[in-house]
Amino acid sequence: MTAKTMTARIQARSTRLRRLMTLLVTFLLALLVLERFSAVTIALVREGGAEPARRLAMQCVAASPEVFYLLALWWVRQALAAFARGELYTPTITGPCIASGSCWRPVR
Higher pLDDT, 19 or 46: 19
pLDDT tens-digit profile of 85-103?
Answer: 887 665 555 555 555 555 5
Burial degree of 58 (CB within 10 A; 0-12, 13-18, 19+): exposed
Residue 106 to residues 99, 100, 103, Cα–Cα distance (Å): 17, 17, 10
Residue 107 to residues 23, 70, 100, 104, Cα–Cα distance (Å): 47, 42, 19, 9
Note the pTM of the prediction, 2 decimals. 0.65
| Domain boundaries, given as residue ranges, for the chain | 3-100
CA distance 45 to 53: 10
CA distance 23 to 12: 17
State the average pLDDT over residues 38-45.
81
Per-residue confidence (pLDDT) for residue 5, from 0 to 100: 85
pLDDT tens-digit profile of 60-89?
Answer: 888 888 999 999 999 889 888 888 888 766
